[in-house]
Amino acid sequence: MPNVGKVGIIGLGKMGEALVSGLLLSQAYAPRDIYAYDIVPERYRYMKSKYGINILKSASEVASTSNIVTIVVKPQDIADAIQEVKKAPLKDKIILSLAAGISTSYLVKHLPKGTEVIRAMPNLACSIGEGMICVTSGKGASKRSLDKATKLLELTGRVLQIDEKYMDAVTGLSGSGPAFVYVFIEALADAGVRLGLQRDLAFTLAAQTTLGAGKLVVSTGEHPAKLKDMVVTPGGTTIEGLIEIEKGGLRAVVIEAVSKTAEKARHLQALLDKNLS
Ligand SMILES: NC(=O)c1ccc[n+]([C@@H]2O[C@H](COP(=O)([O-])OP(=O)(O)OC[C@H]3O[C@@H](n4cnc5c(N)ncnc54)[C@H](OP(=O)(O)O)[C@@H]3O)[C@@H](O)[C@H]2O)c1
């Protein structure tokens, strides 16, 4: 897939690194095409030595130099990052925010008139090109810009263009989802250890089983219940375990976990507006 122009990355934490890693892995981007900045010197030194990307002196330099300016700071740092970005001429650039709970209307309001804003919710698997990313555009952003941001993010995983009203739900499900899945993988592995398996072997079995099960859902398009039924032999072993899962209320716990996460994302914007106005 082709490179869509110089990419700027402001904030080189966990998600910023995942983006850099995914873009380089795609081979559409070389380190020389990525311009980045983080306020923490250890962080940008680490990124420079590990990936060889260009580290600039400020967020505004990153914004001046790149065509797509990606903001990957924590939601509470977004106002400071915007102040810096605003110092650069932003005509013909795309501002791409990956921050949870920060609406495009907030970004459009705080950036110069006419700035094209795209918002995305990625996840950590972007680092290996297996991310799930949802994108949406702010008022005034063209379809061309949305498609350009989509093409960029497609280098790091699967991208869906969605209505912004779903962004908090997406944050709860696919943005935070890997954390929930890791707890499940850890629990599966702990069960293996309880039954006498070595820890390494238990992790391998748990992780590969989760990967394979997910891939089967994606590649067959089947309802997960149908795939589950294919594992459950009448009167067999799996049904015994499923009864325990239902007794423990796993489904309700997961539904509640994703819902609470989405709710927090929804409240984040209100909190920020209150604290920053
Ligand atoms: N981690 C995920 O799985 C994930 C998934 C989806 C979306 N996101 C979104 O991605 C964003 C970043 O999350 P993260 O987990 O990568 O956080 P993180 O690890 O804390 O990384 C953010 C980095 O940005 C730096 N920073 C803060 N203000 C800055 C500024 N004005 N200019 C340049 N750099 C600045 C931070 O420094 P300090 O440490 O000094 O603050 C930190 O090094 C968040 O908005 C989050 O909602 C994350």
Task: Give the CATH number of the domain where residue 160 resides.
Answer: 3.40.50.720
Boundary-marking domain end, from 167, 191, 208: 167
- Confidence check: pLDDT of 277 > 90: no
Mean pLDDT of 171-199: 98
* Residue 265, in any domain of the structure: no
Helix 14-26, helix 41-51: angle, nearest 10: 20
Mean pLDDT of 128-155: 97
Cα of 249 from ligand 1 centre, angstroms: 34
- Confidence check: pLDDT of 273 > 80: no
| Domain total in the chain | 2
Residue 137 tokens read as 């555009």
98 lines ligand 1 (CB under 6 A): yes
Q: Whose CA is nearest to atom 24 of ligand 1?
A: 11
CB neighbours (10 Å) of residue 184?
A: 13
129 lines ligand 1 (CB under 6 A): no
Q: Choose one of 10, 15, 168 to mutate for the ligand 1 pocket test, by most ligand atoms within 8 angstroms of C-beta.
A: 15
Q: Which amino acid is at 118?
A: I
pTM of the entire predicted model = 0.95
Boundary-marking domain end, from 108, 137, 167: 167
Cα of 12 from ligand 1 centre, angstroms: 7
For the segment 213-270, what is each residue's pLDDT rounded down to a tens digit? 999 999 999 999 999 999 999 999 999 999 999 999 999 999 999 999 999 999 987 7
For the segment 78-95, what is each residue's pLDDT rounded down to a tens digit? 999 999 999 999 999 999
Mean pLDDT of 48-52: 98
Residue 156 tokens read as 């790091």
* Residue 1 pLDDT level (bands cut at 50, 70, 90): low
- Confidence check: pLDDT of 165 > 60: yes
Q: Please tell me the distance from the alpha carbon of residue 236 to that of residue 233, in angstroms, as a whole number.
A: 5
Same domain assignment for residues 27 and 158:
yes
Instruction: Give 118's DSSP letter.
Output: E
* 273 vs 64, more confident: 64
Contacts with 244 (C-beta within 8 Å, 6 or more apart), sequence order: none
Q: Please tell me the distance from the alpha carbon of residue 217 to that of residue 67, in angstroms, as a whole number.
A: 37
Same domain assignment for residues 28 and 158:
yes
Mean pLDDT of 194-218: 98
* Residue 119 pLDDT level (bands cut at 50, 70, 90): very high
Q: Please tell me the distance from the alpha carbon of residue 111 to that of residue 216, in angstroms, as a whole number.
A: 43
Give pLDDT, residue 141.
97
Give pLDDT, residue 91.
92
Q: Are 114 and 88 in contact (CB under 8 A)?
A: no
Residue 161's H or E segment, with its range, is: strand 157-161
Domain that holds residue 206: 177-260
* Residue 276, in any domain of the structure: no
43 lines ligand 1 (CB under 6 A): yes
